[in-house]
Amino acid sequence: MAKPTSTAPAERVADPAPVPRAPGFGRRLLCAAYEFCLLFGVTFITNYLLLSLAQWRWPLDPLRLSILQAYTLCVIGAYFIYFWSRGGQTLAMKTWRIRLVGPGGARATLPQCCLRYAMLWWGLLPGSIVFAGTRNSLIAAAVFLGCTAFSWIWMWFDRDRQFFHDYILGTRLIQA
Do 20 and 175 contact (CB within 8 A), yes or no? yes
Average pLDDT over residues 79-92: 96
Q: How far apart are CA 70 and CA 78, in angstroms?
A: 12
**pLDDT over 80 (residue 46):** yes
**9-45 core/surface letters (b: 16 or more CB in 10 A; e: else):** eeeeeeeeeeeeebbeeeebebbeebbeeebeeebee
**Each residue of 147-170: pLDDT tens digit?**
888 888 999 999 989 999 999 999
**Each residue of 115-140: pLDDT tens digit?**
999 988 877 778 778 877 887 788 88
Torsion angle (degrees, nearest 10) of CA 83, 84, 87, 88: 140
**pTM score, whole prediction:** 0.81
**pLDDT over 80 (residue 42):** yes
Q: How far apart are CA 95 and CA 13, in angstroms?
A: 37
